[in-house]
Amino acid sequence: MPANRKAPTKNMMLRLDPELAERLQTVAEAENRSIADVVREAITTLVEQRRGDERFRRLLEDNLARHERALRLLQDDES
């Protein structure tokens, strides 16, 4: 993708309690940034932390194993 073109984005709705929303707005205003930019940064940081978190990776593996078992059970019923 050319450097001057941005990747497509996905709109999402986020509900925050009023106190957290006010704090978020304060951070954005203090840094002269949009709320969306601050939220994107926070989410990016969280996702990157999780990628390196062994506990989180085990949770993913456990979920995968559960879904694989469920799929096998459903496939067994079809035969």
Per-residue pLDDT at 2: 56
What's the pTM? 0.69
Sign of CA dihedral 23, 29, 31, 35: positive
Contacts of 14 (CB under 8 A, 6+ apart): 39
Residue numbers of the chain with a pLDDT score lower than 50: 1
What pLDDT is recorded for position 7? 82
Rounded to an integer, what distance in angstroms lies between the CA atom of residue 35 and that of residue 19? 14
> 37 CB contacts (<8 Å, ≥6 apart)?
28
Structure tokens at 54: 């062994």
Q: Is the dihedral of CA 42, 39, 37, 57 positive or negative?
A: positive
